[in-house]
Amino acid sequence: MAGAVHCSLQAKRLLLDPKFEGYKLSLEPLACYQLGLDAAVAEVQLRDDQYTLDHMRAFGMYNYLHLDSWYQDNVYYVDQFGRVMNLSVTLDTALQKPREVFRLPTDLTACDNRLCASMHFSSSTWVTLSDGTGRLYFIKSGKRGSSASEKWEIVFNEELGSPFIIAHSVSFVKSDAHSLAVLLLRVEKDELDTKGSGFHVTLEWVTIAERKEGDQRYEIIKRRVLQGKSVPHYAAIEPSGDGLMIVSHKPFTFMQNESDKLEENDGAKVSNEKKDPLYYWQQTEDDVTITVHLPQDITKDDIKIHFSPDNVCVSLKDQPPLMEGKLYSSVDHESCTWIIREDKSLEISLIKKNEGSRWPELIIGDTRGEFVMDSSQCSEIAESLMHLTSEVMNPNPEKENPPCNAQELEECDAFLEDGASLCRFDGDTLKVTHIINLGSNQYLFSVVVNPREMPCFCLRHDVDALLWQPHSDQPENMWEHIATFNALGYVQASKQDKKFMACAPDYSYAALCECLRRVFIYRQPTPLATVLYNRKEGRQVGQVAKQLVTTLEASDPILGFQATSERLFVLTTKTLFLIKVNSGN
């Protein structure tokens, strides 16, 4: 994690409602339609050797219903005969039976250690598909959903080792060649892990590109593997294929192959030989002083230094710049100076524009310098931290007003995982570039709002649930707060039997379902048509947020759950339910 920028999520105050009064149970009936399936969903039960929590999260809680975000109200599932079945809805009262759009070439029942079949819609015309046995299919679908003559054509298929499920995929053009990047999730036996569960989780990042020559149209050009100790809550590739974002309880790291290790060892040897820093720097509240040791033959005329408000550039003679880059903070460039001292060292003085601020680094990302702290600064820092420490263990356990009384916390306020983090990995360096410690911001669910962007993820912030849209192409606004579901973080915590959560892409409602039958819907606050008063406070209530509950006529467990702006789709073993939540425009 060294070198990663530590960030934080900035909530938009305008999207928060501190006066939210809660949800009112509404008895308004919701139209619910159901379709019997010709063949049961291809559910795969966990085997006896898949006993860990990670197996349950990755495969036992798998969502067997797939929403095609590129086409409205279009869902898919795989049945027990290996058929990819599609339901495209235009009118609820004239529903057609799910139709077959593709059939997996392999016999699913022939593989003993198979996982559930999985798919992801990489673009409006491309699909990635796995049969659960370890084979990956790259399919050209053409325009999906509306055409009865839709034909899915396999353009690439290859055995990629042990069985996996597809976590995410994107389609993009790079170097004038069509490419596809896909994330494959596995939970594998770890012989070295004797104290833990005995398993580790891998995410394989596979890049497939179009060939200019030869018979085979597409080939694998990169295979990279990340390894961690917990199933990621969220894992998605950036639309450009240049990076990867992961939300997980435990960190992931890239596994190196032998050639990478040799290169790294060579680099380590070189870095060990160059032990002396290129420059030293000190700072006060007002200025920064940089000291650079000069070669013997350098004169004042050989030195060229350029100051700007946010950058500095130092070069000697006609050589490449000795120091160059963006400063940690702005300086008063017109007041910056430099001199050559008697010991033939170059001393540069930068005047801080923001007095009193302490710089953690001089030039952003430059590790060739060394910060020198004088004794007075050390003592100042030690003194400022003194109040946080005590020589006595638990000095006053009977304090009258403790800052937090654990007995006052409700059960739904307890978090099982406090160490979750959001990391952004660079596809070239394979290193973490940005990291956010999520702390108690519990992960809830993900949703695709715009299929051309990365999936959004929803986190609990206090009692609310906040929806975040990643923008990989905007470093200054990489995670944007786009919507809030009031009190949903608190409400969902009380639903102990919940299995899936989702929300409408237009944020009009959020929903969750239990393992059996019941579906809960939480609408955003809407203005009232009639006058309503708050009796306690004697004031008029302008809007109300409604909670609705639907009980499905099914005894089979819920296997899939997807939300669109108008409808909820709920999949059981033998039935597909449609719940009309909002009327169309």
Tokens describing residue 91: 């009118």
- Decide: 510 and 502 in contact? Cβ < 8 Å: yes
Q: Report the DSSP pairing between strands 218-228 and 234-237.
A: unpaired
Q: Which amino acid is at 242?
A: D
Please say whether the beta carbons of 467 and 234 come within 8 A: no
121 confidence band (pLDDT: 50, 70, 90): very high
Q: What is the model's pLDDT at position 382? A: 67
Query: Is residue 61 one of the residues assigned to a domain?
Result: yes
Q: Which amino acid is at 307?
A: F
Cβ(502)–Cβ(487) below 8 Å: no
- Residues 576, 482 share a domain: yes
CA pair distance 542, 529, nearest whole angstrom: 9
The model's pLDDT over 414-425, given as tens digits with 9 standing for 90+, comes to 544 457 899 999
- Tell me how many degrees the CA angle 455-170-85 measures, rounded to the nearest 5: 85
Q: Which of 367, 385, 402 is the last residue of a domain?
A: 367
pLDDT at position 371 is: 86
User: In this predicted structure, which of 203-207, 222-226, 345-349, 375-379 has the lowest mean pLDDT?
Assistant: 375-379
Distance between CA atoms of residues 426 and 4, nearest Å: 11
Copy the structure tokens of residue 499: 């299995």
Comparing 262 with 570, the larger pLDDT belongs to 570
Closest CA to 101 of 169, 158, 154: 154
Give the residue-averaged pLDDT of 461-479. 93
Band (564; pLDDT cuts 50, 70, 90):
very high
Rounded CA separation 218/105 (Å): 19
| pLDDT attached to residue 316 | 84
What's the CA angle centered on 466, arms 437 and 408, to 5 degrees? 75
Exposure string of 90-108, with b = 16+ CB inside 10 Å and e = fewer, is: eebeebeebeebbebebeb
| CA dist., res. 528 & res. 545, Å (int) | 10
Helix (H, G, I), strand (E, B) or coil at 437: strand
Only one residue has tokens 């702290």, namely: 373
Domain boundary among 335, 367, 399: 367
* H or E element, residue 307: strand 303-307
**Residue 565 belongs to a domain:** yes
283 shares a domain with 249: no
| Interatomic CA distance for residues 242 and 238, integer angstroms | 6
* pLDDT, mean of residues 250-268: 65
Identify which has the larger pLDDT, 405 or 437.
Answer: 437
Note whether residue 535 is domain-resident.
yes
Q: What is the largest CA-CA distance in the chain?
A: 90
> What is the domain extent for residue 205?
5-256+417-580
Per DSSP, the three-state class of 256 is coil
pLDDT tens by residue, 32-83 = 999 999 999 999 999 999 999 999 999 999 999 999 999 988 999 999 999 9
Average pLDDT, the chain: 86
Q: Residue 248's domain is classified under what CATH number? A: 2.130.10.10
Asked if the model's pLDDT at residue 269 lies above 60, the reply is no
Beta strands in 72-211 (DSSP E): 74-78, 83-88, 99-103, 118-121, 126-130, 135-140, 153-159, 165-174, 177-189, 199-210
Residues 67 and 216 in one domain: yes
Instruction: Tell me if 458 sits within 8 A of 503, measured CB to CB.
Output: yes
Backbone angles phi, psi at 57, to 5 degrees: -65, -45
**pLDDT average, residue stretch 93-111:** 83
Same-domain check for residues 440 and 571:
yes
Structural domain includes residue 303: yes
Question: Residue 91 — pLDDT band, cuts 50, 70, 90?
Answer: confident
Predicted local confidence at residue 262, as pLDDT = 46
- Do 154 and 105 lie in one domain? The reply is yes
The region of weakest confidence among 96-105, 119-128, 414-423, 530-539 is 530-539
Whether residue 177 sits in one domain with residue 71: yes
Task: Please count the structural domains in the chain.
Answer: 2
Average pLDDT value for residue range 429-438: 92
The residue among 246 and 316 whose pLDDT is bigger is: 246
In a domain, 380, yes or no: no
Paired with 140 in beta bridges are 126, 153
Task: Specify the pLDDT at position 358.
Answer: 81
Residue 458: strand pairing partners? 445, 467
pLDDT at residue number 146: 67
| The pLDDT value given to residue 514 | 94
Question: Quick one: average pLDDT of 281-285?
Answer: 87
Let me know whether 435 and 320 are in one domain: no
Residues 330 and 288 in one domain: yes
Task: Say yes or no: 317 and 238 in one domain.
Answer: no
Going edge to edge, which strands form the sheet with 165-174? 165-174, 177-189, 199-210, 218-228, 253-254
CA torsion angle for 395, 397, 399, 401 (degrees, to 10)? 120
Spatial distance between the Cα atoms of 357 and 284, rounded to a whole number of angstroms: 9
Residue 129 pLDDT class (50, 70, 90 cuts): very high
Residue 541: the pLDDT is 59
Residue 299's CATH number: 2.60.40.790
pLDDT digits (tens, 9 = 90+) for 485-533: 999 999 999 998 999 999 999 999 999 999 999 999 999 998 766 656 6
Residue 322 lies in a domain: yes
Q: Which two tokens stand for residue 189?
A: 């036996």
Q: Encoding tokens for residue 333? A: 């460039």
Same domain, 296 and 240: no
Cβ neighbors of 433 (< 8 A, separation 6 or more) are 4, 5, 243, 424, 425, 426
Contact 353, 332 (CB under 8 A): yes
Query: For residue 530, what pLDDT is reported?
Result: 63
- β-sheet bridge partners, residue 244: 237, 425
230 and 313 together in one domain: no
Which tokens is 541 given? Answer: 């209530």
Residue ending a domain, among 367, 391, 425, is 367
Give the per-residue SS3 of 491-554.
HHHCCCCEEEEEECCCCCEEEEEECCCEEEEEECCEEEEEEEEECCCCEEEEEEEEEEEEECCC
Task: Please check the confidence at residue 546 and state whether its pLDDT lies above 70.
Answer: yes
Secondary structure (3-state) at 135: strand
Structure confidence at residue 176 (pLDDT) = 84
562 versus 329: the higher-pLDDT residue is 562
Answer whether 42's CB lies under 8 Å from 116's CB. yes
- Buried b / exposed e along 457-469 (16+ C-beta atoms within 10 A): bbbbbeebbbbbb
- % of residues, the chain, pLDDT over 70: 84
Q: How far is CA 163 from CA 91, 104, 111, 233, 472, in A?
A: 38, 15, 10, 20, 30
Could you give the CA distance from residue 153 to residue 82 in angstroms, rounded to a whole number? 16
Q: Report whether pLDDT(443) > 60.
A: yes
pLDDT-derived band at 398 (thresholds 50, 70, 90) equals low
What pLDDT is stored for residue 445 in this prediction?
A: 97
pTM of the model: 0.74
**Cβ within 8 Å of residue 422, ≥6 positions away:** 234, 245, 246, 247, 435, 436, 438, 479
Start-to-end CA span in the chain (Å): 48
Written as six digits, the tokens of 520 are 């809960």
The band of 432, judged by pLDDT with boundaries at 50, 70 and 90, is: very high
In this structure, is residue 383 part of a structural domain?
A: no
Mean pLDDT calculated for residue range 285-308: 86
